[in-house]
Structure 1
Amino acid sequence: MKKFFLVLLRFFFGYGQRQFVPYAASPTPTIIKNNKAIQNISFFIVAHPDDIELFMGKEARHQVLNSDIERKVFIVLSAGDANRKNRKKPFRKVSWWQAREQAHTTAISFWNDHKNEVFEQEITINGRYITEITIGSDISLYNFRFPDADKNTSLAELVYLEKDSISDLAHQQRYSLEDIKQSLIEIIELESKYAQRASFYIMDCDHERNPDDHKDHQATSLIVLDILPKLSIKEKSLSGYLTYFIKTKPINLEGEDREKSFETWALMGEVLDCCGYKKNDDEHHMQWVGKEYKSFSIQPDHDLDEINNLNKLRIQNK
């Protein structure tokens, strides 16, 4: 009963209705990306809307600020719905996964000092609709919005060949594992068409270096490893980061990097709160804030054996 009256009070005082909007959404971007001018491009490809901020936020923020990297692309495969699907709490305008996605977009915009407008549009990739969010002329976010690993069909089940297909939450479009790979290839080729060098950042799926990781973290990285040799970009590099394993490791970011890590996570919590959901400032999440542990960095064009060894993890992790 107490919780009911609390919700009712929040509704009357506007809590349940307010929505944090750090940008003016527009269906049609007015900024045209000039891909012909690109020499360097980076791709951060992860499973959940907060994986980049938690596990590779320092690297991503520095690249957002680096004008020598002409394009920065952030790709998230899962909606991070944690089996909540599209269910909304009473009086909330957006669902849980939409709130998490807004928090992710706000974090990237924060790293960019909110100096550019943020535009959202639906584009067609591999015959399917997908959301692209642009921040200025050099930052793009692509959100596939697949179900998060829980009771739903997950990316991991596709990678380990336990299921044949998965549907996104926004449009209920069916994807096979090969469909996902082809869609990623099309996005990467579209963005890097004229680039000379592309850097890829993923979560380390090696079970020895990064044990007990989320199965969709591993699945996402294995998908990336599989498509890397198929990409036409001339020069490629690949970096991997530790994830859940670092919870017992000390905070290793210093100075401004440490400050921005905590500020970023606090801002994302404010977005969730303004959408009517609990902030992720609990002990479970805070054990990773202020940390970043890179586990490997390789040149796929010269270290194909290393890529092949990593790909074998699909069998070892199953």
Structure 2
Amino acid sequence: MKNNLRLACLVTVSLIGLSGCHVNPADLHATNVTDSVIAGKLHSFAQSTTRPQHELPATIFYVGAHPDDIELFMGIQVLQDFVQQPNAKKVFIVTTAGDAGLGVGNGDSDRPYWISRRLGHERAVLFMVSMTGINAPSLKIDTQLVGKRQLERRTFGPNIVMYDLNLPDGGKQGTGFALTGHQSLTNLMNGSAAFIEAIDRSNRYTLEELQATLGDIVSIESKGASWVRLNLSEDRDFWNPGDHPDHISTSLLLQQVAHPAEPVCFQQIRFATYANTTKEQNVTNDELMVHAATWGAINIGRAEGHQRTTWGAAHNAWLGKIYPTATTSSGTACVP
């Protein structure tokens, strides 16, 4: 009975975004079970688009290591947030350029590979904006002072914000690539590298400086919010085996620095990534179609940047699947 109650609570949280459920983290993080307690839940867009008044104003953060991680592994949650919580500010943070070791190079194209990846991410976000029924806004590019650094802040209208730190892709081994000096988030976090520099040389960070910058982004963009949600990839191998080192490092970095002050209601949700390959589709067919369309928008951006698409069995295996592994809430402002 106790486990059934936990499951019901978690399903409710994952479906409606915020709720009054309070789940013991020890239950979520148990190591004596073989399957996620979230397994089997079903998502649905068929819910009210009017959110409780106590949930506004709100800021929702989506954090990924590469320019397609958010769409592939938590995309259904993002789409639900756009439809169900249209007035919430939505902030996308991508830590690496996903450059595959090319740095600012073109590969075998006539345009930079990393730019095509950013274009794909932007096209997907724009598509999700259009899903709310409004006319797609123009992209605006400004700079935001974050600590002592000027970061590029890209926006679609007043409530959609994108930060791309453009750090070097660390590769599937986490050791980086020769063309980018074997820089990686893994090397920075394990102490084998003293700093990491964006491939476009826009900024350079020690570990402490990168932590401070990410923490400052959360603070700046959530200022004045009544509740804040942070969506991350799952860093624990037990729940998300065989994950990319960049995914793990990015998740850990944000977990260490994202602590909005009281009385903000702060929720954190983590999602499985590569481990979803062999899992079953757990969304409705309508959601699968929209998820596939979002993935198509990413590939249109890649093609627009004169690069090959990644539409194919390897990536398409992640469509129609969303598996949260942990949901935690804190703050006196969290109310039913």
Give the deviation of 1:219 after TM superposition.
0.4
Instruction: Specify whether residues 121 and 181 from structure 1 end up closer, same or farther in structure 2 by C-alpha distance, changes over 3 A only.
Output: same
- 8 Å CA contact retained: 1:189, 1:232: no
Map of 1:298 onto structure 2? 328
- The correspondence of residues 66-105 of structure 1 with structure 2, limited to 5 A, is 66-67=84-85, 69-89=87-107, 92=110, 94-105=111-122
In 2, the alpha carbon distance for the partners of 1:229 and 1:123 equals 20
The aligned runs of 1:212-291 (5 Å cut-off) are: 212-229=242-259, 234-291=264-321
- Please, which of 123, 126, 131 is the counterpart of residue 109 of structure 1? 126
Deviates more, 1:253-262 or 1:102-111: 253-262
- Displacement of 1:274 in angstroms is 2.5
The whole-number CA distance in structure 1 between the counterparts of 2:192 and 2:313 is 33
Q: 2:104 is matched by which residue type in structure 1?
A: N
After TM superposition, give the deviation of residue 268 of structure 1 in Å.
1.4
CA shift at 1:134, angstroms? 0.5
Q: Which of 69, 83, 89 is 1:51 aligned to?
A: 69
Identity %: 26
Q: Distance in 2 between matches of 1:85 and 1:216?
A: 16
Q: Which runs of 5+ in 1 are unaligned?
A: 1-36, 303-318
Show CA shifts across 1:14-48 (max 9, x none).
xxxxxxxxxxxxxxxxxxxxxxx962111111111
CA displacement at 1:70 relative to structure 2: 2.1
Query: Structure 1 residue 233: deviation in Å?
Result: 6.4
Task: Give secondary structure in 2 for the equivalent of 1:170.
Answer: coil
In structure 2, distance between residues paired with 1:101 and 1:246: 24
Name the structure 2 match of 1:145. 166
Q: State the partner residue of 2:81.
A: 63
Structure 1: distance between partners of 2:206 and 2:72: 29
Structure 1 residue identity aligned to 2:59:
I
Instruction: Please say if 1:200 is aligned against 2:217.
Output: no
- Are 1:181 and 2:202 counterparts? no
Q: 1:119 to 1:229 in 2, by over 3 A?
A: closer
RMSD: 2.0
Secondary structure of the equivalent of 1:216?
helix
How far 1:68 sits from its partner (Å)?
Answer: 5.6
Deviation at 1:232? 5.8
**DSSP 3-state at the match of 2:325:** strand
Contact 1:119/1:133 (<8 A) preserved: yes
CA contact (8 A) 2:167 2:196 kept: yes
Q: What is the CA distance between 1:133 and its match in structure 2?
A: 0.9
Alignment deviations for residues 176-200 of structure 1 (CA, whole Å, 9 cap, x no partner):
1111111112111111111111000
Q: Please tell me whether the aligned partners of residues 143 and 150 of structure 2 are also in contact (alpha carbons under 8 angstroms).
A: yes
1:228 CA drift (Å): 2.7
Deviation of the 1:227 alpha carbon = 1.0
Q: Deviations over 1:292-314 (max 9, x none)?
A: 11111011459xxxxxxxxxxxx
TM-superposed CA distance for 1:252, in Å, is 1.9
Partner residue of 1:119 out of 120, 126, 140: 140
1:125 deviation in Å? 1.9
1:312: which partner in 2?
Answer: none
* One-letter identity of the residue aligned with 1:225: Q
Structure 2 equivalent of residue 171 of structure 1: 201
Cα distance between partner residues in 2 of 1:215 and 1:118: 31
Q: Which runs of 5+ in 2 are unaligned?
A: 1-54, 171-175
| Contact 2:60–2:229 (CA under 8 A) maintained in structure 1 | yes
1:160 and 1:283, CA in 2 relative to 1: closer, same or farther beyond 3 A? Answer: same
| Shift in Å, 1:63 | 1.3
C-alpha distance after superposition, 1:246-273 (max 9, x if no partner): 1011222213211011111112112212
Q: Tell me the secondary structure at the aligned position of residue 258 of structure 2.
A: helix
Q: Is the Cα–Cα contact under 8 Å of residues 260 and 266 in structure 2 kept in the other structure?
A: no
The number of equivalent residue pairs is 265
Length-normalised TM-score, structure 2: 0.74
Q: CA deviation at 1:172?
A: 4.6
> For residue 149 of structure 2, what is the aligned residue in structure 1?
128
